[in-house]
Each structure stands twice: as structure tokens, then as C-alpha cells.
Amino acid sequence: MLADRFETKLLHSVKKQKLPIKSKVTPIYQTSAFTFEDLDDLERFYRGEGNYLYTRSGNPNTDELGEAVAAIEGAPAGVATSSGISAILAGVLAACKSGDHIVAADDLYGGSFHLLKNELNQLGIETTFVPFSDLQQVEQAIQSNTKLLYTESITNPLLRVENLEAVVDLAKRYSLVTIVDNTFATPYHCNPYILGADLVIHSATKYIGGHSDITAGVVVGKEGLVAKARKKVVNLGANVSPFEAWLTCRGLKTLALRMKSQTQNARKLAEALMTNENVEKVYYPFDHSEEGFGAIVTIELSKKVDVNKFFRALSWVKIIPTLAGVETTVSHPMSTSHRALPPKAREALGITKEVVRISVGIEHSEDIIQVFERAIENSV
């Protein structure tokens, strides 16, 4: 039984696979296939008496990652995938088939929006996007063929914190599956499965891995749905490589340390920028924790600020299209993460050229604040 406190549970959720050699850490099984003694041995695998056949269908490293994230989310099962998007795809296809309907939050990550609106539509799965801040609109969007409610625990990039208990209650009233993308909050801040969600998605590329050197995803949740998601991962070739899974497990062990530091820095940066006359608006969920709630700060610069000049003035802060490494970075949602959204949808959400998403790192907080204040000052 795992310890109750998150930091201890986190370190010991990465359970070394039970193997004859007693290494402290699971070695990297960088192999495409596993061998058998004879045909009887092979047949035992297909009867469920063996562990591994072919890395696309299972590997000790990929299993370790899925099981570890499931453990810290409080879920009974998990499966690792090649990316966050493939995790979303596997999760959705575990719950929906052609002819089914999804109701999704309208303020999702742009890649999720595109997958649900365009790619899944080609498979015969239709999605209606509505503001989940108004659950009456969500309920009104539910149809006779609706199977799924899909949202994010903290939305990307405007950081709306979802009322997960209310979403889950609504889904249960209509016997719908609930899927929550928990990438921004991480299990450090929120456990959607414990709050009643059926499946929880992570782009492990972000905070689970934490060091900007892997691409991976994880789906955790109810055993039956995860089993279906696992079949989709195998049959669609959406598995993560053993080496990337191993690196992600290594990164996962420091999640609590990283999130504590990054969250505290994010809150301090958000508070400092709120008093800057050239920042029109600061998006940060202050009211959810005294220590802070997540490591992302999104700002809307004043129209006095030359946005491109601001990005050029950021000194050691890198401009990238993603987030969550230990270094502070910035992105421009309109140009990257939400580029796929129709212009009217972006405008309705308030994602303009002045909106900047800041992924706060573990540097000293005063240095982080100073670099942004100077960049703003030098761009007016």
C-alpha cells in the first residue's frame, strides 16, 4: 500500500517490474520483440500466461509509465502512448464509435479542438463545443447519441479552472463518460479520477516528463475503459518507445519538487504583472490555493506594447510552441497552440495577438519577474 502523502507516493508509484535481476531501476528494454523457448511457450503468451510479445503491444518500460501515473492519480489502470494527442485519441475511441456525439469545452487546447472537430468527424464522431462555464448550455447540447463530456481541469491558455464535480454530476445524470485532460494541473494539484472522472489524460511531454526531452502521453482511469484504450494504442500503433517511457518515469519522480517551485514562482510573477500598467490582464487561478495553482501564467499585453519587440526582448527566456520544462519559456497561442482554431472562435475566447502564455520555471522568482518587466518596458 502506498503512503498517503503525495511526495512519498509519487516516488514509489514508479514500481520496478518484477524481473529475476534485482536492479534498483527498471532497465531500458530497447527491443522491438521478445523471444520464446518453443511453440508451447508462445502459446502460453496467447493464453494470458506470458508478459510480452512485441513492443508495440507491450513493454516493461511503457507498462511502468502507465501504472505509475495511474497510481498517483488514484486510478486502477493506465496506458502510456506516443503523445498527448494520441492519449486523447485512445481515450475518446475507448468511449465513442462512429455515430456517437461528444460535448466538449469550447476553450480547449487548439490541438484537442482540431482532433475532436476535424479528425474524429471523419470517423463519424461529431463534437459540439460549448462554454463549460455554463453547465446549462452543456446540458442543452446533450443529444440522444451523446456518449462523452470532454474538458480540461485547467484550460489552455486562459486558465479557467473547471468545476469537475459539477461536470461529473451532469455526466452521471445522463449516463455519459467524462474525460478530463489534467496536463496543466498535474496530479500534484488535482485528481480528476478521484473526483469522479472516468478517464484522465496527460500530455506527459509536459509536467510528467518535465524536462522538454520526451514526447509521450498517458490515459488512466476505469479498468474497462483503459483496456479499450490500450487496444486502440496497440492497433493504431500509438505506443511510446521504451527509452522515452524510461526517461518519462525518471522525470516523474521529481514532479512534486518541480511543481512546488514552479507554482510558487508562477504566483509571484502573476502578482507582479498585475500591477504593470502595460499588462491589460493577467490570467491565473489565484483563488484556488494560497500557494498558487499551476505553473502557467497567461497575460494580455496592452496595445501600447509591440508584441514582436516584446518577444525579442526576453533575453534568456526561450520562445517555444510548448510548455512545462524546468526553464521559463513563452509561447504565442494565436500563432502556435491555437492556430488551428477558426479566427472567430479565437476572437470569442479572447485569444488575440496580445495574449502571451508563460510557462514558469524553477529559476529564482526575482529573475523571472525582472526579465518580463524589462521586456515589457523595452517594448512600449
**CA distance readout (Å), 140 to 74, 164, 184:** 32, 18, 28
Maximum separation of any 2 CA atoms in the chain, in Å: 74
What grid cell was written down for 3? 503512503
Q: Which runs of consecutive H residues, i.e. helices, occur in the chain?
A: 6-13, 39-46, 60-73, 84-95, 110-114, 120-122, 135-141, 164-173, 186-189, 223-235, 242-252, 255-274, 307-312, 343-349, 365-377
Q: How far apart are CA 311 and CA 363, in angstroms?
A: 19
CA 116, CA 129: separation in Å to the nearest integer? 9
Beta bridge partners, 358, equal 297, 330
Residue 154 cell numbers, joined: 485547467
Q: What are phi and psi of 90, to 5 degrees?
A: -60, -40
β-pairing verdict for 355-359 and 296-301: antiparallel
Q: Do residues 337 and 112 make contact, with C-beta atoms less than 8 angstroms apart?
A: no
Grid cell locating 225: 475503459
The amino acid at residue 143 is: Q
Gyration radius from the chain CA atoms:
21
Cis peptide before 157 (omega within 30 of 0): yes
- The set of catalytic residues is 56, 109, 181, 206
211 CB burial (10 A radius; 0-12, 13-18, 19+): middle
Dihedral sign for Cα atoms in the order 373, 186, 218, 86: negative
